[in-house]
Chain A
Amino acid sequence: MRETLRAALTIYAKDVRLELRTRETLFSVLAFAFVVAFIFTFAFEPSPQLIASIGPGIVWVAWIFTAVLGMNRTFLLEHERGTLDGLRLAPVPREALYLGKLLSVVTLLVAVEALMLPAFLVLYDLSLFNVWFIAVALAATVGIAAVGTLFSAIAVHTRAREVLLPMLFLPVALPVLIGAVSGAREALDGEGWGGVGGWLQLIIAFDVVFLVLSSLVFEYVLEE
């Protein structure tokens, strides 16, 4: 267990270092998220009443598209430079690789989401600085990353990578999206645990099941 964790952290540290040196993924993904959020302002002509009802939906559609884009790159470098073969040969448990990559994905998504908060404030006058909203968003991000990391390891090897990842990932992640949007709406309506709690529990249950299951089946994805 400790060895798994250490190996996972090593892989995570490698990803963070790489990203800090190149700053490639974060900024390209963030730019995309801004464009999506910006486009929505013209699609809906946001008025305060409209934002109250569709605001959480806009936020999550922007985030989930961004997540798909970002997760498509999860294993891209490994795939292109043959790092995956090296990692496969490394004498560490397979779960470590999954866990390390999962941490990288969660970090990337949380960073993008956090940097998007001011954009939503400016574009839609939508203040998302709410404890319950953030709790739901964090839990949902873990669920998204749990499923997305697994499927991106499959999609990266295929010809239709850009299509395959959303095709596999979005239907499976639907409960998280429903929970995230509904929980966000409750939170922004000023509800506390009473309104948000049920959704939060659903998302956390999803996180636990898919973290365990994905790390178990990851070995079948990687195997050569």
Chain B
Amino acid sequence: MTGAWRLGLLLVAGVLVLIDMYLIFGYAPTERSMGNVQRLFYFHVPVILTSWLAFALAAASSVWYLVKRERVCDRLAYASAEVGVVFFTVAIITGAVWAKPVWGTWWVWDANGTLTFVLWLIFIGYLMVRAYAPDAERGRRWSAVTAIIGAATVPFVYMAADWWGGLHPERVTGPGAQGSLEREMLLTLLFSFVTFIVLFAFLIAERYALRSDEEAVEELRLAAA
């Protein structure tokens, strides 16, 4: 992706974020029982789904990297991991801030919360493997293995934590939803999804490009030494 493309993506993301802020704080009605804190939900849900997407992307490109050994896949995995850590952190913080007034506790170890926390830790481990590997090539391979093993543990973490017990709000939209949201709320939520996906795409593209430059610099440095 060239610089012009990324600039365009940045502009689109910027405009979407502005509209999204208006929708969240101006357009969406205040929820009756939870009040304004419910507006966090328009950040929390899209961010958490985007961070799960980041993990899926990292795991898929890691498999692809081990099979094909193309640097493209590795850079994509690395960019997803780094952006993913940021998104997971935001998701965890917004979730905690929301849960405190509503549930009376900062954190609940239900299936979704546990899975999010575990994936966040695995991504941090992924970045640590890279940082501590004796050379870049082994760092790429080992971090790919870490992402793959991490992906395999997802269903187990989900099931174990689910049986272990906990509470999380019922799904409010899409298949399997119990009640349904106000139309304005649903629209805001869906718009928020689009916004965060575009923002995520921009960050990935940017980090990917930066990574290519970093690798080019590293190779020049090695060649010069």
Question: Chain A interface (Cβ within 8 Å of chain B)?
Answer: 147, 150-151, 154, 157-160, 163-164, 167-168, 170-172, 174-176, 178-179, 182, 198-199, 202, 205-206, 209-210, 213-214, 217, 220-221, 223
Bound complex: CA A158 to CA B128 (Å): 10
User: 4 new A-B pairs (CB below 8 Å) besides A172-B118, A175-B159, A221-B145?
Assistant: A170-B121, A172-B149, A202-B159, A210-B149
B197 interfacial by beta-carbon distance below 8 Å: no
Q: Chain A contacts of B114 at CB under 8 A?
A: 174
A179 to chain B, nearest CB (A): 6
Of chain B, the residue at the smallest CB distance from A213 is B152
What chain B residues lie within 8 Å of A206 (beta carbons)? 156
List of A residues within 8 angstroms of B149 by Cβ: 147, 150-151, 172, 210, 213-214, 217
Q: Which residue of B lies closest to A163 (CB)?
A: B128
Within 8 A of A (CB), among B121-159: 121-122, 124-125, 128-129, 132-134, 138, 141-142, 144-146, 148-150, 152-153, 156-157, 159
Contact B145 A217 (CB under 8 A): yes
Report the minimal beta-carbon distance from B142 to chain A, rounded to whole angstroms.
Answer: 5
Please determine whether A159 and B156 come into contact, CB atoms closer than 8 angstroms: no
Contact indicator B128/A171 (Cβ below 8 Å): no
Task: State whether B138 touches A175 (Cβ < 8 A).
Answer: no
The answer for the CA separation of A176 and B157 in the assembled complex, in Å, is 9
Contact A220 B144 (CB under 8 A): yes
Contacts A202-B156, A209-B152, A220-B145; A171 near B164 (Cβ below 8 A): no
- B128 and A220 contact, CB distance less than 8 A: no
The answer to whether A164 touches B66 (Cβ under 8 A) is no
Q: With a CB–CB cut-off of 8 A, which chain A residues contact B157?
A: 174-175
Chain B interface extent, by class: 20 to 34
Main secondary structure of the interface of A (DSSP, over half): helix
CB < 8 Å: which of A150, A159, A164, A210 contacts B145? A150
Q: Does A221 lie within 8 Å of B141, measured CB to CB? A: yes
**Chain B: CB-nearest residue to A179:** B160
Q: DSSP majority for the B interface?
A: helix
Minimal beta-carbon separation of A223 from chain B (angstroms): 7
- CB nearest to B135 among chain A residues: A157
Rounded to whole angstroms, the CA-CA distance of A98 and B218 in the bound complex is 34
By the criterion CB–CB under 8 Å, are A167 and B128 in contact? yes
Partner of A174, one of B132, B134, B160: B160
Contact B128 A175 (CB under 8 A): no
User: A154-B129, A159-B132, A217-B148 known; A167 and B141 CB under 8 Å?
Assistant: no
Closest Cβ of chain B: how far from A159's Cβ, in Å?
5
Q: Which residues of A contact B138 (CB under 8 A)?
A: 157
Q: Are B141 and A198 in contact (CB under 8 A)?
A: no
Please give, as numbers and ranges, the residues of chain A lying within 8 Å of B99 by CB-CB distance.
Answer: none
Contact B122 A171 (CB under 8 A): yes
In contact, A158 and B146 (Cβ under 8 angstroms): no
A46 to chain B, nearest CB (A): 23
Min C-beta distance of B133 to chain A, whole Å:
6
Contacts of B128 in A (CB 8 A): 160, 163-164, 167-168
Q: Given the known A-B contacts A150-B149, A213-B152, A217-B148, are A182 and B163 also in contact in the complex, defined by CB atoms under 8 Å?
A: yes
Checking A154, A170, A213 against B142 with a beta-carbon cut-off of 8 angstroms, the contacting residue is A154
Q: Is the CB of A160 within 8 A of B132?
A: yes
Cα-based distance from A168 to B142 in the complex (angstroms):
11
Q: Which of B128, B149, B161 has the most CB of A within 10 A?
A: B149
A202–B155 alpha-carbon span in the complex (Å): 10
The CA of A217 and the CA of B118, in the complex, are separated in Å by: 21
The answer to whether A171 and B133 touch across the interface, beta carbons within 8 angstroms, is no
CB distance from B94 to the nearest CB of A (A): 21
Contact B156 A213 (CB under 8 A): no
Q: Can you list the 8 inter-chain pairs with the closest CB atoms, starting with the nearest?
A: A175-B156, A158-B132, A175-B160, A171-B121, A178-B160, A168-B125, A172-B153, A171-B118
